């Protein structure tokens, strides 16, 4: 068995692109990551075959990935060759990574003597391996590649597991590994690779997956106790030294949702996001998934049905309690599309009956089809008379005033955070969904359908809608339900 070399010994022979010794540039916390990830050995092979390292922007994530790939390409002894890949989030990121790798080679004669630079590939001169740096889209759909090292740079843009599944480790190569770097994603719910892996890392206990190395620095969570004890979220998310006024400058120049994601490594919101992440987070502080039936509560239910091919069918139930709206739960059909919509109705009917409900409200989707289906199961179906933008406006007021409680469901939270104003309407961005968000907003809206909706609420909504859309929705002098004329 060949003896392996510590990566820090290799790095001690190199210069950074500005001519400084490389080890002067690699801070102690990064040295520790390199040693633990690449040089924790068991029977000659690395203990870890999957690594996820996350921290805020401008904290050397891409540089570390390139350095790890060069180490594996040149120094790691592997009888099966040195096939190495870095898959970047997009073309620009790939070009940046490739430029960095080429710059390191140009300032280090020891690298020049052993490597040849091609257009998108760096090759060993002895023909024993290569490093390819490509946008993820260039290898999408590829299967069966065997490699020694595969790096994913900025995983936050990946919306599904397709590429990661295609590039899974070869089980016949015990020294192969995947190294993933990223800051937080816009898409922060189950099924998104970065969400799933981060959750696994946070909840993982020693021995659960002993070959998964997880290192995470964010404003709210840090795997390193030294940084977790830091006073501010910025210090926890940015372990590398940044110019003194850099973060303050970024805080002033960027929208808060962008600053949170880029510089606090916290899930963000899209440009033009409709709802405040802080208010949504506050509404979920009770951390429940579903509340049981409560005697004496007056429940309301709202459904957002689906044909079963792409969108989820969703149900939400809510009730009022001492001036607040409590969303008791949000449910979908139970598994990902495609699905049989009538089986979803069976599931929803059973939930409605648990809450002693005999009526549900929804939109006019599919004409009379779902109305008849619910009625055949003993549930009256009421058609909602207002557009979903109106539902979201009511929800916004309740969130901003702290008068609503939401279940801690990741998909619901993410859909709420992704809502934007498009063409004068509140909706999800192209390619996204708002099924759960729409159902929850509908249930909140229904809870304000009676006298418990007071005149202050009405004036606040009227002012908000008039400001945003240019005309009021409500007649303040109305003596009955404030929703009758909507």
Task: Compute the half-sphere exposure of residue 73: CA atoms within 13 Å on the CB side of its CA.
Answer: 29
Q: Which residue has the tokens 């015990």?
A: 174
- 374 HSE (CA, 13 A, CB side): 27
At residue 363, φ and ψ (nearest 5 deg) are -90, -170
Residue 73 belongs to domain with CATH number = 3.40.50.300
pLDDT tens digits for 21-32? 999 999 999 999
Helices (H), 220-303: 225-228, 233-237, 246-253, 256-263, 277-283
Can you read off the two tokens belonging to residue 85? 């890949």
Stated pTM of the model: 0.68
Give the chain's domain count.
2
The residues facing 178 across adjacent strands are 50, 150
Same domain, 51 and 198: yes
Q: Give the integer Cα–Cα distance in Å for 293 and 402.
A: 23
State how far the Cα of 441 lies from the Cα of 428, in Å rounded to an integer: 13
The span from the CA of 322 to the CA of 452, in Å, is: 10
Q: Is residue 425 part of a domain?
A: yes
169 and 89 in one domain?
yes
What digits encode the pLDDT tens for the residues 267-290? 866 667 789 878 888 999 898 999
**341 occurs within a structural domain:** yes
Do residue 66 and residue 190 come from a single domain? yes
Average pLDDT score, the chain: 87
Q: Could you tell me if residue 273 is inside a domain?
A: no
CATH code for the domain of 393: 3.30.420.240
pLDDT of residue 452: 33
C-alpha to C-alpha distance for 269 and 188, rounded to whole angstroms: 10
Q: Contact, 389 vs 418, CB < 8 A?
A: no
Residue 418: pLDDT band by 50, 70, 90 thresholds?
confident
Does the pLDDT of residue 193 top 50, yes or no? Answer: yes
Q: How confident is the model at residue 90 (pLDDT cuts 50, 70, 90)?
A: confident
Co-location of 37 and 74 in the same domain: yes
Domain boundary among the residues 207, 229, 263 is at: 263
Supply the range of the domain harboring residue 226. Answer: 7-263
Same domain, 256 and 292: no
pLDDT at 390: 93
Assess whether 241 and 285 both reside in one domain: no
Verify that 348 and 395 share a domain, yes or no: yes
Q: Is residue 62 part of a domain?
A: yes
Phi first, then psi: give them for residue 439, nearest 5 degrees. -65, -45
For residue 427, the surrounding DSSP H or E stretch is: strand 425-427
Evaluate whether residue 476 is within a structural domain.
Answer: no
pLDDT band for position 2 (50/70/90)?
Answer: low
Q: How far apart, in whole angstroms, are the C-alpha atoms of residue 313 and residue 299? A: 20
pLDDT of 442-458, one tens digit each?
999 999 873 333 334 43
- The DSSP symbol for 191 reads T
Over residues 296-307, the pLDDT tens digits come to 999 999 999 998
Looking at the fold, whether 311 and 241 belong to one and the same domain comes out as no
Q: Give the bridge partners for 133, in sequence order.
A: 86
Q: Which of 236, 263, 290 is the last residue of a domain?
A: 263
pLDDT surpasses 60 at 1: no
> Which of 433, 345, 356 shows the shortest CA–CA distance to 388?
433
- Which of 8-17, 100-109, 285-294, 462-471 is predicted least confidently? 462-471
Q: Are residues 229 and 362 in the same domain?
A: no
The Cα–Cα gap between 201 and 5 comes to 28
Same domain, 155 and 39: yes
Which residue has better confidence, 140 or 350? 350
* In-domain check, residue 381: yes
Q: Is 94 exposed, middle or buried (0-12, 13-18, 19+ CB in 10 A)?
A: buried
471 part of a folded domain: no
Query: Residue 306 domain-assigned?
Result: yes
163 plus 230 within the same structural domain: yes
101 in the same domain as 170: yes
């Amino acid at each position: 068995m060949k003896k392996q070399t510590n990566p820090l010994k290799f790095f001690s022979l190199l210069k950074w692109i500005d001519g400084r010794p490389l080890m002067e540039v690699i801070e102690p916390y990064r040295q520790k990551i390199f040693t633990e990830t690449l040089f924790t050995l068991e029977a000659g092979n690395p203990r870890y075959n999957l690594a996820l390292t996350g921290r805020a922007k401008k904290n050397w994530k891409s540089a570390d990935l390139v350095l790890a790939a060069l180490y594996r390409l040149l120094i790691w002894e592997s009888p099966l060759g040195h096939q190495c890949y870095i898959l970047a989030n997009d073309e620009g990121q790939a070009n940046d990574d490739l430029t960095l790798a080429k710059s390191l080679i140009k300032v280090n004669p020891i690298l020049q003597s052993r490597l040849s630079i091609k257009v998108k590939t760096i090759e060993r001169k002895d023909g024993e391996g290569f490093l390819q740096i490509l946008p993820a889209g260039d290898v999408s759909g590829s299967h069966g590649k065997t490699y020694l090292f595969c790096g994913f740079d900025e995983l936050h843009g990946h919306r599904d597991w397709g590429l990661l599944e295609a590039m899974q480790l070869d089980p016949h190569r015990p020294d192969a590994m995947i190294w993933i770097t990223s800051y937080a994603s816009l898409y922060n719910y189950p099924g998104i690779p970065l969400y799933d892996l981060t959750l696994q890392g946070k909840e993982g206990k020693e021995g659960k997956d002993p070959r998964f190395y997880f290192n995470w620095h964010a404003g709210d969570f840090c795997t390193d106790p030294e940084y977790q004890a830091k006073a501010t979220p910025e210090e926890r998310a940015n372990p590398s030294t940044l110019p003194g006024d850099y973060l303050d400058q970024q805080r002033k120049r960027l929208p808060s949702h962008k600053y949170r994601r880029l510089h606090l490594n916290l899930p963000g919101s899209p440009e033009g996001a409709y709802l405040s992440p802080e208010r949504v987070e506050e509404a979920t502080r009770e951390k429940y998934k579903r509340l049981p039936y409560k005697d004496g509560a007056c429940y309301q239910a709202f459904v957002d049905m689906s044909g079963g091919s792409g969108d989820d069918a969703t149900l939400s139930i809510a009730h009022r309690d001492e001036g607040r709206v409590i969303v008791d739960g949000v449910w979908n059909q139970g598994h990902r599309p495609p699905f049989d919509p009538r089986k979803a109705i069976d599931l929803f009917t059973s939930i409605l009956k648990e809450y002693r409900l005999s009526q549900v409200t929804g939109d006019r989707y599919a004409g009379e089809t779902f109305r008849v289906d619910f009625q055949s199961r003993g549930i009256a179906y009421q058609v909602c008379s207002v557009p979903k933008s109106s539902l979201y406006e009511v929800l916004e007021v309740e969130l901003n005033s702290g008068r609503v409680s939401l279940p801690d469901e990741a998909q619901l939270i993410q859909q709420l955070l992704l809502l934007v104003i498009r063409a004068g309407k509140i909706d999800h961005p192209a390619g996204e969904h708002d099924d759960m968000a729409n159902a929850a907003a509908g249930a909140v809206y229904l809870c304000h359908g009676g006298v418990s909706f007071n005149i202050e609420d009405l004036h606040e909504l009227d002012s908000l809608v008039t400001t945003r859309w240019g005309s009021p929705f409500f007649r303040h002098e109305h003596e009955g339900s404030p929703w009758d004329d909507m």
